[in-house]
Structure 1
Amino acid sequence: MHPRAGASLSRRRFLALSAAGAATGAATLSGCAMRVSTGVGGSGETITVMVKPGEITPDDVKQAHKDLGIRIVLVKYDITKLIAMTTTGNPPDLVRGVGAIDAPYFAARDLMEDLDPYFARSTVLRPEDLDPVNDLWRYDGRTQGKGPRHGMAKDFSQDSMYWYNTSLFDRAGVEPPPETEPVTYEEWLEKARRLTRRKNGQTTVFGGSYNGLMKSSLLACLTAAAGGSLFTDDFTRVDFTAPEARKALDWYIGYCRNKVGPSPVQPDPNAWDGPTYQANRMAMSNSGYWLGGMIGTDRKLAEVSRLAPAPVFGGGPRISPCQGGTGLWMPKKARNKDAAWRVFEWFFGEAPAKARASGGWGIPTLKSLRPLMPARQEYQKRALEVQNAELKHYSVISFTPYASADALDALFNQIAPAAMTGGMSVDTLAGRLDSAMNEQLKRGKEQVG
């Protein structure tokens, strides 16, 4: 066991980790993993689960108690509260996280339980049944996508895909994109420009929205689509002046300057694409398969909506990553691991997982649950065919463990708007982003050690 196991955090490390709540770097907690039990019991016990509202509902809590005999106490997700609970030695038993960006960050700080021994013994979550998207939750101390599993995604989408409204294309006289072959990012932007409608200086129809889930992960994925990597091989630096990253940055700034869709300098009053797309005020929405759950609630909209493959850059590889992969992880210092694992199995492989799979709000992360995806209606069949064909283009785009995505996004949102409005060249922006983000990554590397 580590000699400092159970000891309190040093002041420097505690302050560094606490700063994560203010979108800065974080550090490791000392401690060693508890022994993994071979049991999967837990009936009559209580576990604490930290999630965002709606991710586990009061009905889920009742159902878990009925099915498993385990009482779930929900705690609202809050990074500051998570840190406080962890540093006092009483962390939640399960915590929500976004696999694409959180897994390397928390794993590098030695906060996450290695779940491989649990998966190896499970009859519910069998490793051979896990969709490759769950590799987002793997981290070997250096690279995301390899090594032990630290969590699992509840469902997912390939977030570079997009939906489009054929009626708005018809109205604008613009040829819709093919459903089977990707357009280039340049073609996508040109279509968005032609589809945009303005009246009296106001945008009445957005030609297309393309913001990803977070700017840092979007730019990492765009850079990969251009054939490069936003981060250096050791993930300690970004280089926006490299040709591929520069191409990705130039494209996104061009998207913002053309004002074809929502951006930091032209925010959508609805705050996200869903209501705007539903109101026929957005011709294309960079939302993956999961948005079909909302689209399907409006039959007329569903019948004119199509799902399309992720665009490509000319000469770049065809990739279709997941920028989310939201799920749960187990803290190393969790006190009730066997009961927590039983809830983990239930949530990801039993009744709640089956209900999510049949709802169309995401792709199930167990391959055996894919037959439950909705395909009764013609529009559901069309979307599912496109989605199933896209699965073979999935790959993990590794994210740095040395800074939170929130921290990098805060820097981007502070520096980039001047370029989005034409007041700064993309070359100048690239240099300023490198300077600010690399300082952030340097601090994070020092804290992780």
Structure 2
Amino acid sequence: METEFVFQPANQFCQPAWYGKERNQMNITLTTCGRLSRRGFLQLAGASTAGVLLTACAATTPGEPAPVPDSAEAGAPATADITIEYMMNDAELTGAEIEQFQEANPGILINRIEPDATSYFARLAAGTPPDIFRLQAPQFPQLLAQRIPLNLQPYIDVSDVIKVDDLAPANNYYRSSGGPLDIGDGDVYGMVKDWSPDLTIWANLDVIEEAGLPVPSFTEPMTYEEVRGYAEQIAQFEGDRVVMRGFDINAPWIERIWMVWLEGLESSLFSDDFTQMNLVENELAQEAVEYHYQLAADKLSSSPISPSPSWPGQDFANGDLGLVQYGFWFSGGVLIWADEELQPKIDEGRIVMLPSPTWKGVKRGPTITATGSIVTGATQHPDEAYRVFEWYNAREPAANRAASGWGVPALKSMYDSIPKEGTYRSQVWGVLEQEMNFADTTVRFNPYLQGGEPGVVAGLFIQFYEQALRGETTFDEMLQRIESETNLAIQDGIDRIG
């Protein structure tokens, strides 16, 4: 039977089956993830590539962009209204913001549509793609290999609000000096809407102290082994039932965490050219996988054998989880999701953000999501699409997001708007300010694998480690199956991209 992977737009939090049904993430109503087999995804992606490549040379690099006036000075064009379709969540692009843009830019309408990668590829294949697409960093290399994004550098070169020197380091995920293996600098193809150092730890100090543990340092990082030690002491059980969980992560991001760890040790999950997975014979990679496997085996983290009643963020907000690994963005979320008991603890400074831990002595704290957007190269209206893109990422909506505390702004000039006042916000800011010194890293994602949430490797781990946890296969057999299936997916990607 062909392996199935969930392919879902970035940051839609397409969660594993063992996460419960009561999931309200960022005020977004979650639905069951659409499922595509590896072959189905690649057939769809391949079809879209064929359609896009017919016009790639003309569409993905504009020659002389039309002037993009300040939105406040834009006059009514002589032609009929142009509608720009923007794939973005409603909580991230509000009706009020759309109305503000349309009033300031007569002749250009915005039609917000829900992010849906399956729909995006289908519409690419049909020649009617959305103009702007929401994605995360792991998705970009394959899209660039397929020549799908529009090169925005000619527009940015003449922009009065987006300057390359002002781009936060997270935007490097959407820059390339050549192709999908040259990501990190060069021309700009997209931007983050905001970002977070994603490997910080959120801690409930009451839970920690009730377990007889010292409050962790706000300035010195723990090791991941120390995090596990805290989880062991925090966890409480009644028979087989978990009453208090010790530590949890967002499972669909798990391969990204391993990649951060391994790159810090000058290793990787893949060969240098990304054409092979390197897991079975890679001791460092095996140790990374085993860390999270053992957390699940010991029921310190949620898994198929110890399901979450909700999802890790909500478990923490309900006071049922001592430590959770999320980035700065969670500082806004927990204010909304906290139950009545936890809410006053936030104000009292009992809910804190801790520095990202060290793995084998190496401290790294990059963003592994870098949620942002690209303009589709096949858009029929590149100038208008860029105007919307620039407005969203550098004008009013960007300023609104900067002040909300849901993420670090995409532009360094907006950093001063990050909330810092009060007991809660001042503590979070103190840690964030330190973490930003470790956030310049651009993780290298495999351009031959789709980078959804979860990606191929995380999807395989989620599938096969359930069998290992239940004793139906061994840990080593699980590693072999992950490597074998990943290599098949890589070869399929190579064949499709060419």
1:401 equivalent to 2:447? Answer: yes
- CA gap of 1:77–1:342, structure 2 versus 1, over 3 A, is same
CA distance in structure 2 between the partners assigned to 1:282 and 1:301 by the alignment: 15
**Would the alpha carbon gap of residues 213 and 222 (structure 1) be closer, same or farther in structure 2, given more than 3 Å must change?**
farther
Shift in Å, 1:213: 4.7
Aligned to 1:117: 154
Which of 27, 52, 58 is equivalent to 1:33?
A: 58
Q: After the TM superposition, which residues 5-404 of structure 1 pair with which residues of structure 2 at under 5 Å, given as runs? A: 22-24=40-42, 26-27=45-46, 28-29=49-50, 30=53, 31=55, 32-34=57-59, 35-36=62-63, 37-40=65-68, 44-69=81-106, 70-99=108-137, 101-139=138-176, 140-141=178-179, 142-211=181-250, 213-241=252-280, 242-270=282-310, 272-297=311-336, 298-302=343-347, 303-315=349-361, 317-394=362-439, 395-404=441-450
Give the superposition deviation at 1:54.
Answer: 2.7
Distance in 2 of aligned mates of 1:357 and 1:88:
37
Q: Distance in 2 between matches of 1:425 and 1:177?
A: 35
Specify which of 446, 456, 461 is matched with residue 412 of structure 1.
461
Task: Confirm or deny: 8 A CA contact 1:60 1:352 kept in the other structure.
Answer: yes
Q: What is the TM-score with the length of structure 1 in the denominator?
A: 0.90
Amino acid at match of 1:326: T
- Matched to 1:350, the amino acid is R
- CA deviation after TM superposition for structure 1 residue 193, in Å: 1.2
Report the alpha carbon displacement of residue 339 of structure 1 after superposing the two structures with TM.
Answer: 1.1
1:319 is displaced (CA, Å) by 0.9
Aligned residue for 1:214, secondary structure, equals helix
- Secondary structure in 1 matching 2:187: strand
Q: For the residues of structure 1 that align with 2:423 and 2:358, how far apart are their CA atoms?
A: 27
Q: Is the 8 A contact 1:209 1:273 kept in 2?
A: yes
Deviation at 1:40, TM superposition (A): 1.0
1:19 CA drift (Å)? 6.7
Residue type matched to 2:444 in 1?
A: S
Structure-2-length-normalised TM-score: 0.81
Residue identity opposite 2:276 in structure 1:
R
Q: 1:335 to 1:189 in 2, by over 3 A?
A: same
Maintained 8 Å contact 2:457/2:482: no
Q: CA RMSD of the aligned region, Å?
A: 2.1
Shift of the 387–421 alpha-carbon distance from structure 1 to 2, 3 Å rule, reads farther
Please identify, of 133-142 and 49-58, the stretch whose mean Cα deviation from structure 2 is larger.
49-58
Shift of 1:421: 4.1
Taking structure 1 as reference, are residues 104 and 404 closer, same or farther at Cα in structure 2, changes over 3 Å only? same
Change beyond 3 A, Cα 1:385–1:407: same
1:231 CA displacement:
1.7
Classify the secondary structure of the residue corresponding to 1:249: helix
Q: Which amino acid aligns with 2:367?
A: C
Q: Percent identity among equivalent residues?
A: 28
- State how far apart, in whole Å, the 2-side matches of 1:354 and 1:299 are: 28
Residue type of the partner of 1:131? Answer: A
Structure 1: distance between partners of 2:39 and 2:84 = 24
Q: Quote the offset at 1:266 in angstroms.
A: 2.4
Aligned to 1:434: 483
Q: What secondary structure is seen at the aligned counterpart in 2 of 1:416?
A: helix
CA contact (8 A) 1:185 1:313 kept: yes
- Measured at CA, do residues 22 and 300 of structure 1 come closer, stay the same or move farther in structure 2, by a change above 3 Å? farther
| 1:250 CA drift (Å) | 1.3
Report the Cα offset of residue 424 of structure 1.
3.9
Q: Note if contact 1:212-1:323 (Cα within 8 Å) is conserved in structure 2.
A: no
CA distance in 1, matches of 2:175, 2:221: 29
For this pair of structures, how many residues does the alignment match? 429
C-alpha distance in structure 1 between counterparts of 2:105 and 2:253, whole Å: 36
> Whole-Å Cα distance in 2 between the matches of residues 145 and 420 of structure 1?
38
Listed as ranges, the gaps of 5+ residues in structure 2 are 1-35, 337-342
Instruction: Output one character per residue of 1:322-371: Cα deviation in whole Å (capped at 9) or x when no partner.
Output: 11111110111101111111111111111111111111111111101111
Please state whether the residue corresponding to 1:207 is helix, strand or coil.
strand
Measured after TM superposition, the shift of residue 264 of structure 1 is 4.0
> Could you tell me how far apart the structure 1 residues matched to 2:293 and 2:276 are?
21
User: Structure 1 residues 443, 259: CA separation in 2 closer, same or farther (over 3 Å shift)?
Assistant: same
- Alpha-carbon distance in 2 for matches of 1:22, 1:301: 45
Q: CA deviation at 1:149?
A: 2.0
Amino acid paired to 2:159: S
Residue type at the aligned position of 2:235:
T
